[in-house]
Structure 1
Amino acid sequence: MSIGTNAAEFDDDFLLPCFVHYPPVDLCMNVASRGMVVNGRTGSGKTAILRFIGAKVSHSVTIDPTEMAMSYVTNSDVLRFLQAIGADLDLTFQVLWKHVLCIEFIRLRFNVENETASKGVFDRILDRFSRDDRKKRSINYLKNWEGKFWITMDQNIKELTEKVENQVKAEIGGEIEKFKAGGQYEKRLSADKKSEFVHRVRKIIHADQLAELAGVIDILAELEREEKKVFDETSYYIMIDRLDENWVDVSIRFKLIRALIETLKSFRRITALKILVSLRSDVLERVIQETKDISFQREKLDDYFVHLKWNKPLLRELIDSRVQKLFRKQYTQAPIYFDDVFPYNVGNTHPFDYMVERTLMRPRDIIAFVNECLKAAEGSYEVTGATIRKAEIEFSRIRRDALEQEWSSAFPTIRRLLDFIGQKQKPIVTLTELAEGKDADDLALAIFSDEKMERDPLHEAAKTHCDKAPPTAFEFLKEIAGILYRVGAVGVKLRNGTRYLYSHIDEPLLPLAQITDDTRIRIHPMLWGSFRIQIRHDAP
């Protein structure tokens, strides 16, 4: 028996019939809302919302980045050379996204399915705006694509990239050939020579292309406003999911995502269009790490984010609906709820309270825990407290593995940090206890000496710790506590008399200045089973 799968894209039996319509869903569906980036941890329901909207509305399209042929961009010798000499490709990537989204909206809005329809749309735009001198450059841009609005996205990207390649080759083609010949040519170039090449291509990769596309967006927005006066108002949704997968080489993936986020706000001018991008929290963390040199600031774009957060009543509603559907489908038409299947407490704790405390307040977690309990019950119609404890061991092991997979991109040493915090097999420790012995020193040395981990944000703290004589572990341990808090592995009590803070409930980031030597660190109960920590019902 099962109340659904872990992945929303494979949960056809339960996802839509048992969908919980909570406030973030309304923000995503409301075209007037600024929210465009659906942000949350893995398993928090991002894909579920996109699938729900796709099934609910008449005019929507979902872009799969794996079908965008961005590998053509990655494999471009010209773009690889420009990246190697330090040229800023952000504008180029923004041009790619703006073009793709404009074409996708034209195709969706005007139902373009062939070349004839594509030319018809251009004629319609030309007839309306040809006498507007301010739109001339954007009209010329669209003219180059008048018969191509219907072509596939990978063809669009290939043609745009080839255009940039040809322009750059005309300027510094000889240097590209030397780069293609190998021998790490770019490393033999002086800083002055690199600056010269960057300056020469800047006139090719410049803001003019973005200005042309901005004009295209204005044309589409104005056309949409005029037609709304005649026709019924219709909303259009373009959704982008699966950005966390291997859709493009890691060397440019996070810069492409950053350019996409920057691009979204310009489409707010098309009031009938809603673009929704699903983005995992750990991927956003990596975007910030990788693009901080080009001034990406999360705070400036926060109004465009829809943050997914669940609470106990919402999760209970979700589980009740799924349990009811499971048993109605298999056994009876009478309504069956969670309490009917889980009638026994775990110690003195209600089973749902016990189980939800061992989650990060995400649908995937509680669904997985219920499924483990049903499996451990071995066909029994009722799940006992002992069965829940038995299922918890396997559930905890799976959650730890999932935590490592989720955050290994942003924090490559996450497994070592979890081993370090769990080795004392205590639910609560202080920084003073963690500093005892040589474990912290050994961990710092391991992180610092591993060359593969140099992009780890903990690497510099480990180096500083190793360079001190004698080493003092507290600053290094504060960094560790901050990361473990960020990923949800621990809660933190900053002062006596205050409650434990958790990143999935409270602020996602913890200022390290607030952490003291006496700060209490509580391993999240989700991990107690995997760490073989004795479950103490009296633990604070």
Structure 2
Amino acid sequence: MATKTARIKAGFTLGGEQAEADPLAGEAFVESGLYEVIADRRDPRCFLIGRTGSGKSAALQHLEDTEPDHVIRITPEDLSLPYITDLQVIRYMDSLDVKLDLFWIALWKHVLLVEIIRHRYGVTSPETKQRFLVGLKERLVRQPGKQAALDYLDEFEGKFWCDADERVREITDRFTERLGVDGSVSASVASFGVKGAVSSATEQTTESKSEMADRYQRIVNETQLSKLNQMLTVLNDEILDEANFTYVVIDDLDRDWVDERLSNDLIRCLFRTVLDMQRVANLKIVVALRSNIFQELDFAASGGQEEKFRALVLEMRWTKPLLEEVLDERVKLAAESSNLTAKSFRDLTPHSNNTRGNPIQYILQRTLLRPRDAIAFANQCFAVAAGKHRLSWEDIQAAERQYSANRLLALRDEWKQTYPGIDQVVVKFRGAPARMTRDEFQDRLDECMLLMTAPEFTGVRWMTDLSRAMWESSAGEASWNELYQPLLALLYRIGLVGCALTGSAAPLFFADDALLVESESTVDRCEWFHVHRMFHKALDVVRTGERREQQASSAPSQSAKAEDVSQSVS
């Protein structure tokens, strides 16, 4: 009797879409060239930048799994940073425009330094700390400069071996105590709170407020960075050697772990700290950050070192062959537990044909070339095909609508912090042709700009910046690039639209060429504008060849649209 072929069980998946909730993440990890750079102890690139779902967290988790004795993970949520940013005196100094960078840098250096020492020597109690210090001082008996640097560690006495959040509170409390001694307005802050102190400050002359800000700035500038920097020398020369090479990984910087108003300053100062600590030879600090947060960091506030930071960036980018490899590896593992005789994703997909094409390419063309997209689409397909031996084309197309809707929600969630109301912009492309002429695309951009007149639109600030030329220029004065390129660049960057150059049949998207629409001459050559296939089903995009008479009749003419814009401005 022939053995029956196993069927796809209900609940069969290729793992979770997020690394922290993915049972297959470790075993099915694909070691791309990107991971090799992350793990390379001599490669200085350490800022892992990418969109949500691009594999940043998975890469750091794999490093931690592969090098368990050499990796320290620091989680921002565990550092009591909300406690610091909520302190009345910190908020008061912020209201006086006191630059807190040196304090934030000292804080990060302190956290990193102590975590590395605790990990290296297993410091978990006062006794182990004392043994470590005595032993190190004996080795440095003929190096008084380095011995003096160790005094910094003695200042924290009982808090050294505690959890990071307690040590962060300790160093912050010491800082605010110093402000209490040296700052003349600390009493008013304590008595009246921030609002009372600020109200009192507003009654003073501009000169007195300036003097107060200068006094606080001096105190911040005297933060013990010199002692911390001396300890970094000790760390490099005496504590970390090749056998004790240490990675520090920092992830989850996109979560609500601190007041949003100060989060960018904290992250920017973390980047400055990492840059400075690259002097330690046997240490590599790897920081993962979402692309949209990275682009908001004001590196000019760090003394114009933007080039230095960008030289250390490693962008998470994937190709279709690599994503297919990701799916293959997951199918091998998932199939074993489900008794499926599949060695690759191709074994579970329908056959290619001239009419519908290649099913794997069909799926990958509807991703932003991120592992999360590919896994999500495959899982949705398997949910539809439960009980069958393999997927059919009908299963893939049935799964696409739900997948597309979920990806549209994910797009909103990814960018709503940076661009509030972005979902209202995206829906302006509902019912659009999959391939738009420049005039058709311009009509949609005009509708997006007119959202500024809608009371419920929450993105007035950023939309004003992107459409300024439209409101300020007289008719016929501004070029198409001046009027529309800023908004085009945003829609291109988030992955919603792509462009096909003159004479080109295939559109290019951000994953293909990140800088395509940054050049005025290139934008001038763009003949067609495309909504990404990922969002076609969710936005009811009209495919080429389908009738669009109803859409055309309901859309205002170009001249009417221009008149609407003019009336709104006036």
TM (normalized to structure 2)? 0.85
Distance 1:181 1:168 in 2: 15
Where does structure 2 lack aligned partners over 5 or more consecutive residues?
Answer: 1-11, 547-570
Q: Name the residue aligned to 1:51.
A: 61
Quickly say closer, same or farther: Cα 1:414–1:128, change in 2 above 3 A. same
* CA distance in structure 2 between the aligned counterparts of 1:452 and 1:219, rounded to whole angstroms: 55
How many residues are aligned here? Answer: 526
Structure 1 pair 451–402 and aligned structure 2 pair: CA distance change class (3 A): closer
1:482-505 Cα offsets, whole Å, 9 max, x none, are 001111111123544486332223
Match of 1:23 in 2: 33
- Identical amino acids, percent of aligned pairs: 27
> Partners of 1:175 and 1:24 in 2: how far apart?
49
Q: Does the residue aligned with 1:279 lie in a helix, a strand or coil?
A: strand
* 2:518 maps to amino acid: P
Say if 2:253 is the partner of 1:243.
yes
Q: 8 Å contact 1:39–1:308 — kept in the other structure?
A: yes
Is 1:379 matched up with 2:387? yes
How far is 1:63 from its partner? 1.4
Paired letter, 1:343: P
**Structure 1 counterpart of 2:440, one-letter code:** E
Alignment equivalent of 1:466, drawn from 453, 465, 471: 471
Q: Name which of 412, 427, 431 aligns with 2:420.
A: 412
| 1:525 matched to 2:533 | yes
- Paired with 2:148 and 2:133, the residues of 1 have a C-alpha distance of 14
- How far apart in 2 are the matches of 1:146 and 1:171? 24
CA contact (8 A) 1:24 1:308 kept: yes
Structure 1 residues 339, 449: CA separation in 2 closer, same or farther (over 3 Å shift)?
closer
Q: Find the aligned partners of 1:87 and 1:517 in 2 and give their Cα distance.
A: 48
Q: Does structure 1 retain, via aligned residues, the 8 Å contact 2:500–2:527?
A: yes
Q: Is the 8 A contact 1:328 1:336 kept in 2?
A: no
Q: 1:127 to 1:499 in 2, by over 3 A?
A: farther
2:308 counterpart residue number: 300
1:194 aligns with 2:202: no
Is residue 478 from structure 1 mapped to residue 485 from structure 2 by the alignment?
A: yes
**Shift in Å, 1:440:** 4.8
SS in 1 for 2:106: helix
1:218 is the counterpart of 2:265: no
Q: Which amino acid aligns with 2:115?
A: E
Gapped regions of structure 1 (runs ≥ 5): none
Q: Secondary structure at the match of 1:315?
A: helix
Aligned to 1:91: 102
| Structure 1: distance between partners of 2:520 and 2:303 | 24
Question: 2:228, 2:351 → 1: CA distance?
Answer: 62
In structure 2, C-alpha distance between the alignment counterparts of 1:509 and 1:74, rounded to whole Å:
40
Distance 1:317 1:63 in 2: 31
- State whether residues 36 and 306 of structure 1, in contact with CA within 8 Å, keep that contact through their aligned partners in structure 2: yes
Q: Distance in 2 between matches of 1:181 and 1:26?
A: 49
Pair 310,188 (structure 1): closer, same or farther in 2 beyond 3 Å: farther
Report the CA distance between 1:277 and its aligned residue: 1.4
Contact 1:430/1:520 (8 A) holds in 2: yes
In structure 1, distance between residues paired with 2:184 and 2:45? 43
Q: 3-state SS of the aligned residue for 1:203?
A: helix
2:296 corresponds to 1:286? yes
- Paired letter, 2:442: A
Q: What CA deviation, in whole Å up to 9, does each residue of 1:463-491 have, x standing for no partner?
A: 55334455979434221110011111111
Q: Mean alpha-carbon deviation: is it higher for 368-377 or for 142-151?
A: 142-151
**C-alpha contact (below 8 Å) 2:502/2:525 kept by paired residues:** no
Once residues 121 and 164 of structure 1 are traced to their aligned partners in structure 2, the CA distance between those partners, rounded to angstroms, is 26
2: CA distance, partners of 1:190 / 1:253: 31
Q: Which residue of 2 aligns with 1:234?
A: 244
In 1, the alpha carbon distance for the partners of 2:342 and 2:442 equals 54
Q: What CA distance in whole angstroms lies between the structure 2 residues aligned with 1:493 and 1:399?
A: 23
Letter in 2 for 1:357: Q
Change (3 A) 1:498 1:341: closer
> Are 2:332 and 1:309 aligned?
no
Q: Deviations over 1:190-222 (max 9, x none)?
A: 543332222112221116522221111111100
Q: Which amino acid aligns with 1:21?
A: E
How far residue 519 of structure 1 moved from its aligned partner, in angstroms, is: 4.7
Matches of 1:447 and 1:281, distance apart in 2: 26
Report if the CA contact (8 A) 1:282-1:409 is conserved: no
Aligned match of 1:345: 352
- For residue 48 of structure 1, report the CA deviation from its aligned partner: 0.8
State the SS of the aligned residue for 1:5: coil
In the alignment, does 2:195 pair up with 1:182?
A: yes
Normalising by structure 1, what TM-score?
A: 0.90
Once the two structures are superposed, the pairs formed by residues 445-464 of structure 1 within 5 Å of their partners are 445-447=450-452, 453=458, 456-464=461-469
CA distance in 2, matches of 1:120, 1:510: 60
Asked whether the 8 Å contact 1:37–1:278 carries over to 2, the reply is yes
* 1:46-195 paired onto structure 2 within 5 Å: 46-57=56-67, 58-129=69-140, 131-135=142-146, 138-145=149-156, 147-174=158-185, 177=188, 180=193, 182=195, 184-185=198-199, 190-195=205-210
2-side partners of 1:496 and 1:468: how far apart? 32
Q: How far apart are residue 521 of structure 1 and its match?
A: 1.9
Q: Is the 8 A contact 1:36 1:304 kept in 2?
A: yes
User: CA–CA distance in 2 between the matches of 1:11 and 1:211?
Assistant: 44
Stretch of structure 1 that moved more, 486-495 or 74-83:
486-495
- Residues 452 and 460 of structure 2 are in contact (CA less than 8 Å); yes or no, is this contact kept in structure 1? no
- Give 1:329's match in structure 2, choosing from 337, 361, 373: 337
Amino acid paired to 1:67: D
Relative to structure 1, the CA distance from residue 521 to residue 222 in structure 2 (aligned partners, 3 Å threshold; closer, same or farther) is same
CA separation of 1:125/1:237 partners in 2, compared to 1, >3 Å: closer, same or farther?
same
Give the letter aligned to residue 195 of structure 2. Answer: G
Rg bigger for which structure?
A: 2
